[in-house]
Amino acid sequence: MNSSETTPTLALVEPSARVTTAPPSRWSRLTWGGLKWVVGSLLSTFLVLSVVVVGWTARAARRETLKTWWRRSPVRTRGVSFRSFTEAQAATSEFSNWPNWLLGPRPEPESRTVRTRLQRFGGGLARNLRVGVPMAFNTAVLTLPAGLLWSVAWFAGWQNSFNKGYEHAWFGPTVFVLGMLLFTATMAYLPWAQARQASTADWRRFYDFRLLGRLIRKHWLASVGLALVWAAACGAVLLVKLMPPLAQYIPQLADLSAPEALEVSHRFFALMALGLFPLYVAIRLLAARIYAQALCTAYQTGGITEEELGEAEWHALRRLELLTPQPRPERKWFLRLARWLATRTGQVSAAAALFLIWFGLSFLVVVSEFVAKTELGRGWWNQPMIQLPWFDYTPNRLREAAKASEGEDRPPLSPPPQASEPKSNAP
DSSP output for 172-211? HHHHHHHHHHHHHHHHHHHHHHHHHHHHHT-GGGGG-HHH
Amino acid at 365: V
Q: Kindly give, in sequence order, each residue whose CB lies less than 8 Å from that of residue 424, ignoring residues fewer than 6 positions away.
A: none
The pLDDT, as a whole number, for residue 8 is: 40
The pLDDT, as a whole number, for residue 342 is: 58
The pLDDT, as a whole number, for residue 54 is: 97
Q: Cα(67)–Cα(90) distance, rounded to whole angstroms?
A: 16
For the chain, the structural domain boundaries read 139-407
Torsion angle (degrees, nearest 10) of CA 38, 228, 313, 102: -10
End-to-end CA distance of the chain: 110
The pLDDT, as a whole number, for residue 74 is: 92
The pLDDT, as a whole number, for residue 164 is: 60
Q: Cα(277)–Cα(49) distance, rounded to whole angstroms?
A: 13
- pLDDT digit string (tens) for 363-399? 999 888 888 888 888 889 999 999 999 999 988 888 8
- Which residues in the chain show pLDDT less than 50? 2-19, 334, 337-338, 341, 413, 424-427
Q: Cα(61)–Cα(302) distance, rounded to whole angstroms?
A: 25
- pLDDT digit string (tens) for 247-290? 878 888 777 888 888 898 899 999 999 999 999 999 999 999 99
Q: What are phi and psi of 417, to 5 degrees?
A: -65, 140
Q: Kindly give, in sequence order, each residue whose CB lies less than 8 Å from that of residue 320, ignoring residues fewer than 6 positions away.
A: 69, 70, 73, 75, 85
The pLDDT, as a whole number, for residue 11 is: 44
The pLDDT, as a whole number, for residue 17 is: 41
